[in-house]
Amino acid sequence: MKLKYKISQPTNLDGKIIIDTIIAKLEHNKYRILSVGYDSVNFDESPWKLMWNFQAVRRLEGGRFEVDILGKDTSVSLKYYINLLPQLFVIAALTIGLVANGEYYAPIFFFLFYFVAIMIQTVTLKEVATELLTKITGEIS
């Protein structure tokens, strides 16, 4: 299960320069570039990359940059996603284990804990995505 988000910012430069800047920023931040098109760049996080726990919270799991050129106006958008599958597996395993042992109210506590953690992760990743997009459009504006 993935939650998908989209943010965008305007700029006034050529699409090729924007694509080159996006590639440079993604390589600098050590993201894996999946494909590069005339007006888009797809990227993700390597699933086998080792990192500290506090670094993992501030990493986008993947996304797509799109450059939309309409006359003299250019807009750069970032579509990124948050994968909730690991958290759902943990909640399901805890619920099954606790209910099997006769604990019927404890899963509510864990569900609330993970709900708050997912909300914090969502806000943090939105800030990371906005910062990345601002750096890209700020360097070329």
pLDDT tens by residue, 111-138? 888 889 889 988 999 999 999 998 888 7
* Containing structural domain, residue 14: 2-140
> Using one digit for the tens of pLDDT, what is the confidence trace for 8-18?
988 877 878 88
Q: Residue 8 is part of a domain; what is its CATH number?
A: 3.30.310.80
Query: Mean of the pLDDT values across residues 82-88?
Result: 82
Q: What is the pTM of this model?
A: 0.79
Give the DSSP letter of residue 60: -
Residues 6+ apart with CB under 8 A from 32: 43, 44, 45, 46
Cβ proximity of 7 and 133 under 8 Å: yes
Q: What is the pLDDT of residue 141?
A: 46
Name which residue leads in pLDDT, 124 or 57. 124
- pLDDT-based confidence at residue 50 (cuts at 50, 70, 90): low
Domain count, the chain: 1
Measured distance CA(25)–CA(23) in Å, rounded:
6
